[in-house]
Amino acid sequence: MTNGIDSALAATDGAANASQNLAETAAQTAAASEPSALYEMLHSGALGLLLDGGFFMWPILILGILALGVIIERWRSLKMLKTNADHLRQSVIDHLSRDQVEEALKTADESQGPVAAVLATGLRKYVVLKRLNYDQGRIEEQVTQSMENYGVHIVAALERHLPVLAIVSSVAPMIGFLGTVQGMIVSFRNIVATMGEVNIVEAAASGIETALLTTCFGLIVGIPAFIAFNYYTSVINRFVLDVEESATELMEVVTLQVTLDSQA
């Protein structure tokens, strides 16, 4: 009887050990199946969405970085050009009306912005031609031509890098749509491959979600680039209008001074 009790106890201990081993194995398997911290970091938040979106997310990311760089660069550059063009223009005209050409040129040289640069170019040409006793009838033509030629360079400098924003605002959404189309093709292939094995909605849902991520990111990049392009274009147009108005008023005063000098 003692042997029977010992056998029963041994069997019980064996069963307990087996249960403990099974529990430890299950715990180890669960721990191994849990994602690591690096995996969770890479597949969470914006970075996770970027990785889930596939290959087409990377060109969109590059376009977004380019657009952000241009937006910051143009904002800083155009912010530095903001000057009181009306005050500068009136000061230059007042000096010219009193035949103080040197003072007018000095005022334009000491100011910043496209208006000051164009006025300084025209006044510098006027001063040189006047010192050389140039033909009074052609001074106006030469001054006008010099300001027009320099105005082209001013506009080109103001519009620097803006074509990048125009390209990004158009291309980023198109790449997003292309990624969505490619993702939808993959989703339908998965549906055909798993036909009859899993629910068709379940088979397509994850693929469609991934496909739509590229469209979302393309629009996220393209819309701000489009807004920035139009905003900077309107700011530049105001600068160009100020330059044209200033050049026109300067030429009116120069014409008056040339007429008075020819009659003297």
What is the rounded CA–CA span in Å between residue 17 and residue 50? 48
Residue 47: inside a domain, yes or no?
Answer: no
Residue-wise pLDDT for 203-249, tens only, equals: 666 667 777 888 888 999 999 999 999 999 998 888 888 888 878 87
Contacts of 139 (CB under 8 A, 6+ apart): 126, 129, 130, 254, 258
Residue 105: inside a domain, yes or no?
Answer: yes
> Residue 52, class by beta-carbon neighbours within 10 Å (0-12 exposed, 13-18 middle, 19+ buried)?
middle
Residue 46: inside a domain, yes or no?
Answer: no
What is the 3-state composition of the chain as percent helix, strand, coil, each rounded to the nearest 5?
85, 0, 15
Same domain, 68 and 160: yes
Q: Domain range for residue 196?
A: 56-264
Contacts of 50 (CB under 8 A, 6+ apart): 57, 61, 217
Total structural domains within the chain? 2
Same domain, 22 and 138: no
Same domain, 170 and 211: yes
The model scores a pTM over 0.85: no
Same domain, 86 and 132: yes
Same domain, 60 and 31: no
Same domain, 10 and 113: no
Residue 51: inside a domain, yes or no?
Answer: no
Same domain, 167 and 91: yes
Same domain, 10 and 84: no
Same domain, 12 and 119: no
Same domain, 243 and 113: yes
Residue-wise pLDDT for 30-49, tens only, equals: 444 445 554 454 455 455 55
Per-residue pLDDT of the chain in tens (264 residues, 90 and over written 9) = 445 445 544 444 554 454 555 445 544 544 444 455 544 544 554 555 566 667 788 899 899 999 999 999 988 888 777 666 777 788 888 877 777 778 888 888 888 788 888 888 888 887 787 777 777 667 777 888 888 888 888 888 888 889 999 999 999 999 988 888 888 877 777 777 767 666 666 666 666 777 788 888 899 999 999 999 999 999 888 888 888 887 887 777 777 766 766 665
> Residue 24, class by beta-carbon neighbours within 10 Å (0-12 exposed, 13-18 middle, 19+ buried)?
exposed
